[in-house]
Amino acid sequence: MKTVDKMEVLHSQSAEFIQKGESGKFLKLIPDTFIIKGNEKNGVFNQGYAIRHINRRDMLLIDVVEKSTKDAVKKLVEEGYNIKGILITCDGILDSAYADLKTISEDAGGAPIYAHPRNNFKDNFKVKDITTRDKALDAFGINIFDLPGNQGASVVVYSDINEGMLFPGEDAVGSDYDSELNDFIRPEMKNENNDYGLAESWAAFDTAFTFLFPRKGKPGFNLEEGHQIDILNKLGKASS
């Protein structure tokens, strides 16, 4: 079995590594977990992720649907990877998709697409319900948490790989890459009730995680229990 170069992993766990990384290319963050920089607006770029199975053949994509990521996904297929699913965390992800869901699935080798059943789909492509148990997702240690989003349909994806990885989509926003902070806040919500519901959900969240990989902003690496509690307290704090 290939050993992990610890210096490489430590180097990849930095905002500078991600910021300088090439857009539209998968960059390894930690073992078998990759980030890909997508669309950018006003200096802020979207982030998608990929998890590689221990068998080194199967992959799971999270929020990877933008035009700038299309070629990278096709390359995975060409290299022989089997994409077991594309997970969509919220409606906002669909808004930035480069094509209809059928085309996105075909470009990923026919991968199924998982999304919340209340998402506002723009086509008739049949997606899988991300909130139900699924053997393909179980193989990656996935657990789904249903949280209120801006349109009332969003999920947080948890994987037990690497001692617990949390992918909150747009339900938590990391600090700007140019900032010295490494904190997380709730997104600006269109609806006060949804904001209250999201705050309550974060306040009640009790699953331990070591890594926090948001849709926007700096990720959190090697988070110890005290830091986890601080993050959840801030995410769960009621708006003033």
The domain that holds 94 is classified in CATH as 3.60.15.10
Q: Of 5-9, 67-71, 159-163, 172-176, which range is least confident?
A: 5-9
In a domain, residue 133? The reply is: yes
In a domain, residue 103? The reply is: yes
What confidence tens digit (pLDDT) does each residue in 188-224 have?
Answer: 888 888 899 999 999 999 999 999 999 999 999 999 9
What confidence tens digit (pLDDT) does each residue in 121-134 have?
Answer: 667 889 999 999 99
Q: Categorize the per-residue pLDDT at 150 as very low, low, confident or very high, splitting at 50, 70 and 90.
A: low
Q: Categorize the per-residue pLDDT at 42 as very low, low, confident or very high, splitting at 50, 70 and 90.
A: confident
In a domain, residue 113? The reply is: yes
Q: Residue 12 belongs to what domain range? A: 6-235
In a domain, residue 90? The reply is: yes
Question: Structural domain tally of the chain?
Answer: 1
- 75-88: average pLDDT: 97
In a domain, residue 81? The reply is: yes
In a domain, residue 1? The reply is: no
What confidence tens digit (pLDDT) does each residue in 96-124 have?
Answer: 899 999 999 999 999 999 999 877 666 78
Asked if 145 and 167 touch (Cβ cutoff 8 Å), the reply is: no
In a domain, residue 215? The reply is: yes
Q: In the chain, what percentage of residues exceed pLDDT 90?
A: 74
Q: Categorize the per-residue pLDDT at 62 as very low, low, confident or very high, splitting at 50, 70 and 90.
A: very high
In a domain, residue 240? The reply is: no
For residue 175, pLDDT over 80 is answered with yes
Largest CA distance in the chain: 52
